[in-house]
Amino acid sequence: MTLNILNTGYEAIISGLSCAFIAQVLKFCIFTIRTRKINFKIFTTTGGMPSAHSAGVMGLGTTIGLIDGFNSTLFAVAMGFALVTMYDAAGVRRAAGKTAACLNRMMEDYYKHDVQAIGEKLKELLGHTPFEVYMGALLGIVLSCYFHFYIFEKIACVF
């Protein structure tokens, strides 16, 4: 029995998930180098450089384009999904993060005598800058092409 994932839905989902995972690992490495601190929570948080959401959806979309063609309806749906996801990461979630930062500052000013009354701070790092989204998308495109033309091609030859 042979295992052939080349040019299948398995290739697309593995490629998209791998792109997102690699982006999270890069995000951890960049954070560690920049701050000289190890924080394993980076693996499960949103925001930061590069955008794992963008890498994942562009990796998925690019792989679908490589398999089914860049003029296919499925590629158009994947790119629509990717664009909405990336717009949300750089737009809505970024704005929500800025609002959370403002509210946190207001609460600290208001409760400066009773810090315990504030409770838990709102999460501020929710979205991405446009550059972080762009770099995540570029990472997803490059990695998905690499997976398609080199990794999965070699796996198909072995089996």
**Residue 51's domain spans which residues?**
9-91+127-158
DSSP string for 2-57: ----TTSHHHHHHHHHHHHHHHHHHHHHHHHHHHS---GGGGG---SSS-HHHHHH
What is the model's pLDDT at position 153?
73
* 26 within a domain of the structure (yes/no): yes
Higher-confidence position of 44 and 132: 132
What is the model's pLDDT at position 60?
97
* 47 within a domain of the structure (yes/no): yes
pLDDT band at 116, cuts 50/70/90? low
What is the model's pLDDT at position 123?
61
* 37 within a domain of the structure (yes/no): yes
CA 120 from centre of chain: 26
* 21 within a domain of the structure (yes/no): yes
* 148 within a domain of the structure (yes/no): yes
Has residue 142 got a pLDDT over 90? yes
What is the model's pLDDT at position 1?
42
What is the model's pLDDT at position 58?
97
* 142 within a domain of the structure (yes/no): yes
Q: Over the stretch 73-108, which tens digit does the pLDDT of each residue have?
A: 999 999 999 999 998 877 766 666 677 677 777 777
Choose the most confident range, by mean pLDDT, from 44-53, 106-115, 137-146.
137-146
Has residue 12 got a pLDDT over 50? yes
Higher-confidence position of 145 and 120: 145
CA 112 from centre of chain: 37
Q: How many domains does the chain have?
A: 1
* 101 within a domain of the structure (yes/no): no
Cβ-in-10-Å burial (0-12, 13-18, 19+) of 42 comes to buried
What is the model's pLDDT at position 102?
74
Which residues are CB-contacts of 159 (< 8 A; sequence separation ≥ 6)? 2, 3, 4
Q: Over the stretch 21-74, which tens digit does the pLDDT of each residue have?
A: 999 999 999 989 988 988 888 777 777 789 999 999 999 999 999 999 999 999
35: its two tokens: 């701050």
C-alpha dist (Å) from residue 55 to 26, 131, 143, 148, 154: 11, 13, 9, 15, 23
